[in-house]
Structure 1
Amino acid sequence: MSLRQTLRGTGVAIVTPFTKTGKIDFSALESLINFIIKNGVEYIVTLGTTGETPTISKEEKIDIINFTFEKVDSRVPVVVGVGGNNTHELVKDLNTLPLDKATAILSASPYYSKPSQEGIFLHYEMLAKASPKPIILYNVPGRTGRNLDAATALRLAHEVPNIGGIKEAANNMVQCMQLLKDRPDHFMVASGDDDLAMTQLACGMDGVISVAANCFPRKFSDMVRAGLDFDFTKAKELNDTMLEAYYLLFAENNPAGVKSFLAEMGLIENYLRLPMVPLSEPLREKVVRYLRK
């Protein structure tokens, strides 16, 4: 079964809760996992960039992966984030992290180095050969500094076994349409832009890997399911109620926005690891007013 079938719908790029002392708050993580699954999302993505992975050690990643598998308990699929700009280190990670229970690997395009398209292709080709699970490409040029062009993504999809899909977060509708026009049948295309997700579903995307669904799992996943059913009257009604939230979630940075929402909802404590810091007070007050509405 392809990832287009297995991961159709809403995946949540789950945050990593921390305590005041900077330790991983596993109790809060369990509560968040249960909240998300209870409210109807299709799958969970752990250790994505929303999970502050650049600040998390290898040992902590292993603990988070094992804990997530244990608490999800096969209720929904789990995708594990394994990305970075050191190709050979990532190959080692793919061979040593506990990935047996993962459905797929989400791997962000190499950041900062700004490789050529050929370099990006060869990077993912090496990861795909090493990975025990299908690779989901992750294109987020706003973070990485280099776009994964549609032509390169499609070349990977058509030529490299074990490349199963892409999370597309380039904020570029034309590029999305190019991917959807020429993809092979097995290749999943998921939105990585919450604010564009509804319109991208209308173009034919298979779902969303969402930040907003951490705090609005029921409403957001209902919106996505309506879009997948081409019921855009219902999808628009739901999406309209979240437009202000999309702005607040990303106005300063991610995951400061979503952690502020989750803290105000009583699900986690509002702690991040440097260099990330909580939302500024004026923006936090807007989050509080939005939730009160």
Structure 2
Amino acid sequence: MQSLIGTGVALVTPFKHDFSVDTEALKRIVNFSVDNGVEYLVVLGTTAENATLSKTESELVIETVIAANNGRLPLVLGVGGNDTLKVVAELKTRDFSAFEAILSVSPYYNKPTQEGIYQHFKAIAQAAPIPVILYNVPGRTGSNMLPSTVIRLATDFDNIVAIKEAAGDLVQAMQLLQNKPKDFLVISGDDMIALPMILAGASGVISVIGQGFPKEFSEMIRLGLNRKVNEAFKLHYSLANCIEMIFEQGNPAGIKEVFLSLGLTENQVRLPLVNVDESLANRIAEFVKNSAK
């Protein structure tokens, strides 16, 4: 899965002032990411506010990204949930011809045991017509997919090819990297520790900040993969303050403020999310302004 090495970006769903999907803004964001060097695009991940999209809106987002990308970069589609049978049904009925892989989050809210998580992804692996990227994000799901469970899945199912590891725990990530099967990819899901994870052996990142600063962030990841440590950390520290800011009051409210400052889209988010406050919006705008100098 060489196409998953480097920087993938978890695309937002832009909204107009009336909260309808802004397809023209989505096209601009896709082009901005593609033109500035990211390696692949992730559609309908958490950052897309997919939990608040209707089925019709989700299909509109998919169609818009496919058309805007026009075959330039590999695409990954978020297909996950806490109802295993529902996820399996989607895997058996959806057309995945435009996609390289699916990204499937560990079941949230139900708080399954490790065996429950294993059985959930076993069912997904058996139904999926394309490769599967596991997604571990305990801060959102309420349960942590342990390295032992990940390695068991990676060993038992050839089409489980990678994990987006977003526990924010560098020690856990290193345990994965130490014990994983040779060709299994560990992908950072945390922008702030993406570079340290890559230097420890990770294959790249699925990023939020990467769509706001695609040129700088994707270059940082490539430098890390090539073990050009000093150059990579120089870019990391140039973006670190903004990485903190975009998550300070929640994702994707922060990154949408970056896009507003870049003139790519409005900063609308759907309830229960709300916009960042005026103080943070001003700090983000100032960072974007200064970074353009």
Q: What secondary structure sits across from 1:288 in the alignment?
A: helix
Partner of 1:88: 85
Aligned-pair identity (%): 45
- 1:167 and 2:164 correspond: yes
Would you say the 8 A contact 1:62–1:98 is kept in 2? no
Residue from 152, 155, 162 that aligns with 1:155: 152
- 1:252 and 2:261 correspond: no
Residue from 232, 236, 245 that aligns with 2:233: 236
Partner of 1:266: 263
Would you say the 8 A contact 2:105–2:137 is kept in 1? yes
Query: TM-score w.r.t. structure 1 length?
Result: 0.97
Partner of 2:189: 192
State the one-letter code of the partner of 1:279: V
Between the aligned partners of 1:58 and 1:155, the Cα distance in structure 2 is 33
Between the aligned partners of 2:167 and 2:277, the Cα distance in structure 1 is 26
Between the aligned partners of 2:264 and 2:89, the Cα distance in structure 1 is 34
Between the aligned partners of 1:37 and 1:22, the Cα distance in structure 2 is 25
Partner of 1:49: 46
- The total of aligned residue pairs comes to 290
List runs of 5+ in structure 1 lacking aligned partners: none
List runs of 5+ in structure 2 lacking aligned partners: none
Deviations 1:145-180 (A, max 9, x none): 100000000000001231110000001111111111
Between the aligned partners of 1:249 and 1:168, the Cα distance in structure 2 is 19
1:76-155 aligned at under 5 Å gives the runs: 76-155=73-152
Would you say the 8 A contact 2:3–2:40 is kept in 1? no
Q: What secondary structure sits across from 2:167 in the alignment?
A: coil
1:284 deviation in Å?
Answer: 0.6
Partner of 2:207: 210
- 1:14 and 2:32 correspond: no
Q: Which moved more, 1:204-213 or 1:160-169?
A: 160-169
RMSD: 0.9
1:67 deviation in Å?
Answer: 2.0
1:276 deviation in Å?
Answer: 0.9
Would you say the 8 A contact 1:17–1:268 is kept in 2? yes
- 1:225 and 2:222 correspond: yes
Between the aligned partners of 1:97 and 1:33, the Cα distance in structure 2 is 22
State the one-letter code of the partner of 1:269: E
Q: What secondary structure sits across from 2:104 in the alignment?
A: strand
Would you say the 8 A contact 2:9–2:38 is kept in 1? yes
Q: What secondary structure sits across from 1:166 in the alignment?
A: strand
Query: TM-score w.r.t. structure 2 length?
Result: 0.97
Would you say the 8 A contact 2:151–2:179 is kept in 1? yes
